[in-house]
Amino acid sequence: MRPLLGPAAVLVRQLPHGAGLPLPSYATAGSAGLDLAAAVEAPIELAPGSRALVPTGIAIALPPGYEGQVRPRSGLAARHGLTVLNSPGTIDSDYRGEVAVILINLGQAPFRVERGMRIAQLVIAPVTMARLYAVAELPGSSRGEGGFGSTGSDVTNAGEPA
């Protein structure tokens, strides 16, 4: 496990219902996300189409200028259709409450969330704070107002990615 040093140091408090569970950790040296575990006292059965707010049993203190991004685990999504509903969920640097994960079962079979199961991942990322300016008109661009797939298809280059 690689240590976080300097400005990305994150303080973690294990809550009473998270006792005995491992703290979030990177699965490999190249992992971008820390695995988050379910701190449920009893299993949660997620029927297809249902959602649940799943506690992790931890609270964190992120340094100013950083956020936590709660993301799905690819294996749970691919094998079971389980994903994070508000993905990525954002944990602000000034939030000190419990980290919880909104899971939704988009699969076709019920899914059982059990204590200690790795349910999501947490990516710690820098945040750029923007300064907004109200204007009457925006400067032009080659794209203009095109959106929602307006750049996704180019029939003149059939077979090549657009």
User: Annotated binding residues, as ranges?
Assistant: 73-75, 86, 90-92
Annotated binding residues for substrate, as ranges?
A: 73-75, 86, 90-92
DSSP 71-137: E--HHHHHHH-EEETTSSEEE-TT--SEEEEEEEE-SSS-EEE-TT-EEEEEEEEE-PPP-----SS
Task: Tell me if 61 sits within 8 A of 96, measured CB to CB.
Answer: yes
- Give the total residue count for the chain: 162
Kindly list the distances between the CA atom of residue 160 and the CA atoms of 143, 146, 152, 155, 157, in Å, as whole numbers in the listed order: 20, 21, 11, 9, 6
Q: Which H helix or E strand runs over 70?
A: strand 66-71
Nearest-5° angle of CA 113, CA 4, CA 32? 50
